[in-house]
């Protein structure tokens, strides 16, 4: 208690020096907060970058010229569905069909309905809102249901809830000359569960009139002993910040980078990512963080040096006081500690004052604890170094006075 009273008395006695300590610590805390705030902001931007600039990917042929009408093996589709590296996997299987029982020999003339199987309507149409949620719920089932475009409903006289007899065929390009072949899948009744009210896409997915749940169609393929290959597949990378790891994983699956000079084919064997914007932004932020983190040792040294110089200059004005304490018999260690505490206490007050101002103006005091502790530690180290050096010189002077 006596020590605390003496510290408080000395602080009031040397009020000018104490105020200078408060101001010095306040300014250093403000500068450190701005510096650390830049680092925090860069980390925050980096963390939010995958949401702001999602990395979209899709399977294509080796030359990168086709996004749909491909042959993507079913086991590759399963890998994407089960992978933790991707999200929002969307794929389709193109089909042909007709109303009623269409015979095999008549498929070229009577299969006039363009069909597809999908698990997400966004694979077929640009959709959003309640319509998107409702139709995707239907597409997750394995029931004999379908969604139909308004034009097809009008042409065939169908209504929502009708059970219509449909013949469904799987078609594929059998060779590089573009010869198309069809395989019958089923002829049975499907219930019209939804009307496809989304906007038709102006790309390879346009023109589909009927959509079935992918699970329903997969079961039809398996009943025939066939693999339910996809004709298109797209996805988003779950963690774009680990893009290199993702690409290595894809190579392990046998997917190749696009080779634009490759021959035309329909095999879905290549991977293309739209990652240029994300990569450029992430590279910029990483460079910024490298620069900021590179200055951390210099910032720490600057805090130490400012505290050291300020403390040593202040100590020069207290030579007689130091000698008096020693002549009165106060041990050297106790004298240094007393003068050290007298300077650190105002510095702590200056740091707290800076944080109080920050809380009042920006309401973010919770993020400053670590920087405050580091600042106090660096400041205290500088003060201690200055007082130890000063005490050594003071001891030499004290010895000369005794002699």
Looking at every residue in the chain, the average pLDDT score rounds to 81
β pairing state of 113-118 and 210-213: parallel
Mean pLDDT value of segment 251-271: 88
β pairing state of 270-274 and 113-118: unpaired
Cα distance between residue 267 and residue 71, in whole Å: 5
Q: What are phi and psi of 70, to 5 degrees?
A: -100, 170
What three-state secondary structure class fits 294? Answer: helix
Q: Where are the domains of the chain?
A: 2-47+285-402, 56-274
Using the 8-state DSSP alphabet, how is residue 160 labeled? T
Cα distance between residue 377 and residue 384, in whole Å: 10
pLDDT tens digits along 85-135: 999 999 999 898 888 888 777 666 777 888 999 999 888 888 777 778 888
pLDDT tens digits along 322-365: 667 666 767 767 777 777 777 777 777 777 777 777 667 664 44
Q: Between 125 and 215, whose confidence is greater? A: 215
Cα within 13 Å of Cα(285), Cβ side: 20
Cα distance between residue 67 and residue 57, in whole Å: 11
Q: Between 315 and 255, whose confidence is greater? A: 255
Q: Please give the structure tokens belonging to residue 168.
A: 């469904």
Cα distance between residue 92 and residue 242, in whole Å: 27
Using the 8-state DSSP alphabet, how is residue 171 labeled? E
Q: Which helix (H) or strand (E) is 23 found in, with range? A: helix 15-52
Confidence of residue 397 (pLDDT cuts 50, 70, 90): low
């Amino acid at each position: 208690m006596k020590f605390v009273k003496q510290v408080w008395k000395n602080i009031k006695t040397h009020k000018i020096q104490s105020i200078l300590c408060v101001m010095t610590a306040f300014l250093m805390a403000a500068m450190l907060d701005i510096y650390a705030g830049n680092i925090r902001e860069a980390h925050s931007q980096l963390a939010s970058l995958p949401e702001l600039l999602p990395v979209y990917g899709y399977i294509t042929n080796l030359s990168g010229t086709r996004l749909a009408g491909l042959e993507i093996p079913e086991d590759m589709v399963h890998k994407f569905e089960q992978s933790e590296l991707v999200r929002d996997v969307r794929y389709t299987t193109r089909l042909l069909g007709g109303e009623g029982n269409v015979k095999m020999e008549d498929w070229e003339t009577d299969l006039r309905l363009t069909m597809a199987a999908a698990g997400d309507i966004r694979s077929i149409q640009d959709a959003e809102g309640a319509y998107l949620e409702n139709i995707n719920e239907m597409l997750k089932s394995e029931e004999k249901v379908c969604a139909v475009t308004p034009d097809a409903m009008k042409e065939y006289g169908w209504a929502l809830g009708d059970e219509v007899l449909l013949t469904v065929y799987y078609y594929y390009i059998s060779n590089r000359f573009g010869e198309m072949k069809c395989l019958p899948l089923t002829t049975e009744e499907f219930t019209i569960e939804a009307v496809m009210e989304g906007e038709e896409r102006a790309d390879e997915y346009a023109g589909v009139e009927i959509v079935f749940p992918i699970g329903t169609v997969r079961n039809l393929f398996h009943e025939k002993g066939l693999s339910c290959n996809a004709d298109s597949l797209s996805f988003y990378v779950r963690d774009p910040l680990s893009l290199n790891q993702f690409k290595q994983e894809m190579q392990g699956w046998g997917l190749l980078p696009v080779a634009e000079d490759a021959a035309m084919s329909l095999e879905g064997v290549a991977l293309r990512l739209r990652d240029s914007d994300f990569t450029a932004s992430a590279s910029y932020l990483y460079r910024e963080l490298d620069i900021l983190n590179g200055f951390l040792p210099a910032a720490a040294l600057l805090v130490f040096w400012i505290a050291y110089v300020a403390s040593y200059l202040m100590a020069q004005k207290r030579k007689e006081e130091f000698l008096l304490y020693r002549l009165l018999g106060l041990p050297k260690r106790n004298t240094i500690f007393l003068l050290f505490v007298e300077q650190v206490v105002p510095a702590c007050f200056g740091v707290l004052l800076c944080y109080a101002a920050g809380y009042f103006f920006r309401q973010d005091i919770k993020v400053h604890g670590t920087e405050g502790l580091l600042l106090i530690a660096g400041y205290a180290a500088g003060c201690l170094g200055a007082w130890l050096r000063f005490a050594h010189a003071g001891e030499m002077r004290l010895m000369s006075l005794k002699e």
